[in-house]
Structure 1
Amino acid sequence: MATVSVIIPVYNEGEGIENLVYELNTYFRDETRFTTEIIFVNDGSTDDTLSKLKHAEHIYYTYKVISFSRNFGSHAALRAGILNAKGDYITFMYADLQDPLSLVSRLFDEIISKEIDIAWAFRKTTTAGTSERLFSAAYATLMRKYAVSNFPKKGFDIVMFSRKVKRCLDKNIEANSSVFIQILSLGFKQTGITYDKRIRLVGKSKWTLAKKVKLLIDSFVAFSFAPIRLVSFVGISFFVLGVLWSGYIIFRKIVFDDLASGWPALLSILMVGFGVTNISLGIIAEYLWRTLDASRKRPVFVIDEFIEGALTPVDSNNRVLLDAKL
């Protein structure tokens, strides 16, 4: 029987852990097509998330708890989970359960029936606010045009993939990058299903504006040459305009001699010139910094604690055997 590893990154989700574990036990108790491994990755939580994960009753699945030494970000958490996953297929879930657990079974069926390596769950509807939807739409449009042409219009949070894909990801654990776009760009056979995203019942989202902006920058710098090409285009454009403007000034001076010199025009030129220069240097600096960061080979994440638990024995009626809990 195949095994599916479900990676769940958690960060300050203490108030929702009890419900999360209850839902996991309830769903995977009745799942008979595959065995389940749940990998909780505690991304440096400062509340009682880790303690609650340790003392929760994980019954109908094997589990691992990976705890980071500090907060490294959700993508680092997903990469740590992938590295330590033992399943034949690997997928992601999130502690808020806005993405239904039934997606695990649906994605598994999709991969098995079509004999492919990657299956995506695309959002059909979402409960996000207007600003978040606008950001997602703009992000998807930019990524499709300048980085990954097959990036979905409505975005995604969930994917399932085979061990073949896992081996590629384990060989290239990238810092400051998007694991989703990395999977998209691998080129293996892919398919997708759609689903309706649910409202969050417990806690609040950790997906802040700062994290959205960082993801946008990471995605472009890691997967697109568009920023560098933009710098070149702007530089060439201003060079051509400068040459034409200089020719025009010389022509008016020689023929009409009617141009009055003044500091406002000079100041405008300097402001535009220095503005473009600084923007260009900033973009180039992003690439240089990430090259330096990669060359230092600092760890993408640091594991502080690793806990592994076996499947709890149950009888034929899915009742927990008492001796196993003593």
Structure 2
Amino acid sequence: MEKITVIIPVFNEAENISQLVYELGSYFQKEKRFSTEIIYVNDGSTDDTMSQLKKASHHSYTYKIISFSRNFGSHAALRAGIQSAEGDYITFLYADLQDPITLVSRLYDEMKEKRVDITWAFRNSTASSKWEQFFSLAYASLMRKYAVSNFPKKGFDVVMFSEKVKACLNNNVESNSSIFIQILSLGFKQEDILYDKSIRLLGKSKWTLSKKIKLLIDSFVAFSFAPIRFVSIVGLVFFMFGIFWTTYIVFRKLMYDDLASGWPALLSILMVGFGITNISLGIIAEYLWRTLDASRKRPVYVIDEIVGDNVQKKREEDYFRIISK
């Protein structure tokens, strides 16, 4: 029987844990076509999330809880889950249950029927606010135009992929990057399904404005050369404008001698010039910082603790494997 690994990143979701575990147990108790492994990744929660996960009644699936030493972000949590996954297929879900658990079976069916390595669950509709929808649409539009041409218009949160894709991701662990765009750009055979995203019933979304802005910057810097090209174009435009302006000043001086010099014009030029220079340097600095960050080879995440019903068995197997050598 094939196994599916479901990775669930959690961050300060104590109020949702009991309902989440109940829904998972109820659903996978009925699903007999495949076995299920659930990997909860506690992304440095400061509330009662970890203890709630430990004392929850997990059944109908094997489970593992990976706890980070601090908050590293949801994409780092997903990468940790992938590296620890043992399933033939891997997918993601989230503790707020806005994405239905039935997606696991639907994605699995699509993978088997179409015989592909990646299947996406694209949002058909969403219950988010107008501002969130605006950000999502703007982000998707920019990504399609400047980074990944096949980026979906309404975005995605859920994907299922094979062990082949897992191997590629584990061999290329990127920090300050988007794991979804990395999967999207791998080039394996891909299919998609549509689903309706529900509203959050409990708790508050951790997907803050600062995290959205960071994702936007990370996505462009990691997968697009558009910002660097923007710097070059701005520099060329200002160079041409400078040549034109210089020619105009010389012409007026020689022909009419009617241009009075003054500090307002000089100040305006300096403000515009230094402003464009600082913007350009800031964009270049983003690339340099990420190059430095990659060269230091610091861990994308740090695991503080791993617990679960199959963790001890795995440790014993590793121990006997070492002894046998």
Q: TM-score, normalised by structure 1?
A: 0.95
What does residue 59 of structure 2 align with? 59
Secondary structure, in 3 states, of the residue corresponding to 1:199? Answer: coil
d(CA) in 2 for partners of 1:240, 1:219: 31
What does residue 320 of structure 2 align with? none
**2:265 aligned partner, one-letter code:** A
What does residue 233 of structure 1 align with? 233
1:16-35 superposed matches below 5 A: 16-35=16-35
d(CA) in 2 for partners of 1:307, 1:168: 26
1:95-114 superposed matches below 5 A: 95-114=95-114
Q: Deviations over 1:208-260 (max 9, x none)?
A: 00000000000000000000000000001001100110011001101111111
Bigger CA drift: 20-29 or 255-264? 255-264
Q: Deviations over 1:164-205 (max 9, x none)?
A: 000000001100000000000000000100000011111110
Structure 1: stretches of 5+ with no match in the other structure = 312-326
Give the Å deviation of 1:310. Answer: 4.3
What does residue 7 of structure 2 align with? 7
What does residue 322 of structure 1 align with? none
Identity of aligned residues (%): 73
d(CA) in 2 for partners of 1:69, 1:256: 72
Would you say 1:128 and 2:122 are equivalent positions? no
Across the two proteins, how many residue pairs are aligned to each other? 311
d(CA) in 2 for partners of 1:206, 1:308: 25
d(CA) in 2 for partners of 1:112, 1:308: 29
d(CA) in 1 for partners of 2:258, 2:13: 71
Give the Å deviation of 1:308. Answer: 2.4
1:222-301 superposed matches below 5 A: 222-301=222-301
What does residue 85 of structure 2 align with? 85
**1:225 aligned partner, one-letter code:** F
**1:133 aligned partner, one-letter code:** Q
What does residue 37 of structure 1 align with? 37
d(CA) in 2 for partners of 1:223, 1:309: 39
d(CA) in 1 for partners of 2:29, 2:128: 31
Structure 1 stretches of 4+ moved >2 Å:
none
What does residue 315 of structure 1 align with? none
**1:120 aligned partner, one-letter code:** W
Q: Deviations over 1:107-164 (max 9, x none)?
A: 0000000000000000000010010000000000000000000000000000000000
d(CA) in 1 for partners of 2:207, 2:57: 28
d(CA) in 2 for partners of 1:310, 1:41: 15
**1:25 aligned partner, one-letter code:** G
What does residue 318 of structure 2 align with? none
What does residue 49 of structure 1 align with? 49
Root-mean-square deviation (Å): 0.8
**1:152 aligned partner, one-letter code:** P
1:162-177 superposed matches below 5 A: 162-177=162-177
**1:188 aligned partner, one-letter code:** F
